[in-house]
Amino acid sequence: MMHDGSRLWAKDLPLDVAIHRFTVGEDPDTDLTLLPFDALGSAAHAKMLAATGLLEASDATALVRELKRIANLARQNAFPIPPHLEDCHTAIEADLTRTLGAVGQRIHLGRSRNDQVILAFRLYLRDALLHLGLRISDLAAGFVTFARTHQSVPLPGYTHLRRAMPSTFGMWAAAFAEGLLEELEALQSVYQRLDRCPLGSAAGFGVPLPIDRGLTAKLLGFSKVQRSPIDVQNSRGRHEVAMLQWAASTGGVLEKFLWDVSFYSTEEFGFLKLPDAFTTGSSIMPQKKNPDVVELARGRCRELRGTAGLVEQLASGLPSSYHRDLQLLKRPVILGLRMADELFGVLVRLVPALKVDAKATAAASTDELYAAHQAYVYVQGGMPFREAYRKVAQQIQDGTFIPDRTALTATHLGGAGNLGLEDLSTDLATARSWIEAKREIHAQAEETLWAN
């Protein structure tokens, strides 16, 4: 019988404390996140073993009952992992053995810690991705509401940080909603990579037992099995990188928004006002209100890119199969996804809190913004564009330029006069429905699994 203090791989050899700490690393803390997912995967494994005759049905029932208890404790942060037990997998098996005796030890039949950790992490990533998707859906909806509210408020359009052409706050906000819609659509491709059950690959070469990998996948709400046991091991890091790169790409959409807010809320622009809750005071200057939330959020966007790069480096340069280097993936992935969750959650509250100063934006929308518009007025009268361009340029140089601001409006799809907000809202609702449907599949699978 394995005692609580035993390590699964121990061979009764002395282990220097420093070496133990080095090899275990931060797993006892990091794996707290994975505990409920490992318990869920173990329950599906137990039911599969019973269905294939490799485990007594009564033993499977007892295991699932105890695993449900462990999962509930884990979600309440009430199932600590002692350092000597190293990780969530050993801690769970030790607890099952303590409560069920030899039956608890049977949970490891037909699997390795390698496919066990991949499964737990795959379940965690799947859950985290859909959770982040709902955050982004809420954020995109906030941008659409902002665009509707300020649809016709003028805003200078800038290129090279110089005034370029007329725009509106409606166009500005709609741009970020459209960008987030693209990321929600890209999320579906990332999900498809995760929607393959790896359990049954064991150490990477399969199991010489009549296990049913398809049943395990079905029990856990996966649509398919990740067939190749070697590919299961080789994919570790690949999916994590894809997910973090998706989060970083989403951060790239938001980083531009945050930069704009930082500019537009300065005294020099005065287009936006940040509520006090999103600012902090200076330690020396009584008048200052610093946009700390905006700046930290902007930094988080870059931090996400750095985390994705770190995980890519850790996972690269390895031959096929499992290598201990891969243990180092867990902590940055979990921290990176927590970072993304905090970032998206804060911005969901920031967008509706922004205040627009329409007088300031109107004052900044000066005549020269309409230079290209005026050239097109002449073009509509039959003048070649290059000639119209030179005529307007000469008027600006002479100080005689007086544009007809009402002559032309961009009514094409996406232009200031036709933002396409209804279609955008419909597309966002479709993307959200897709996410909610997947979450429902997972919830039903878990409910059925725990029903025993």
Does the active-site annotation cover 282?
Answer: yes
Quote the pLDDT of residue 15: 57
Phi, psi of 81 (to 5 degrees): -110, 105
pLDDT digits (tens, 9 = 90+) for 35-87: 999 999 999 999 999 999 999 999 999 999 999 999 999 999 999 988 887 78
One-letter amino acid at 180 equals L
pLDDT band at 1 (very low <50, low <70, confident <90, very high): very low
Q: Report percent pLDDT > 70 for the chain.
A: 92
Domains 24-109 and 114-152+165-363+420-451 equal at CATH topology level: no
- Of 58, 189, 282, 320, the active-site residue reads 282
Does the active-site annotation cover 160?
Answer: yes
pLDDT digits (tens, 9 = 90+) for 156-168: 999 999 999 999 9
**pLDDT over 50 (residue 348):** yes
What kind of architecture, by CATH, is found in domain 114-152+165-363+420-451?
Up-down Bundle (1.20)
Stretch 215-234: mean pLDDT: 97
**pLDDT over 80 (residue 341):** yes
Beta strand 224-225 with 272-273 is unpaired
**pLDDT over 80 (residue 225):** yes
Contact 245, 337 (CB under 8 A): no
| DSSP, res 4 | T
Q: Which residue ranges make up each domain of the chain? A: 24-109, 114-152+165-363+420-451, 366-415
For domain 24-109, which CATH number applies: 1.10.260.40, 1.10.275.10, 1.20.1300.10, 2.80.10.50?
1.10.275.10
pLDDT digits (tens, 9 = 90+) for 398-433: 999 998 888 767 888 888 888 999 999 999 999 999
pLDDT digits (tens, 9 = 90+) for 97-130: 999 999 999 999 999 999 999 999 999 999 999 9
CA gap 250, 184 in Å, rounded: 9
Quote the pLDDT of residue 283: 58
Quote the pLDDT of residue 398: 94
**pLDDT over 70 (residue 239):** yes
| DSSP, res 287 | T
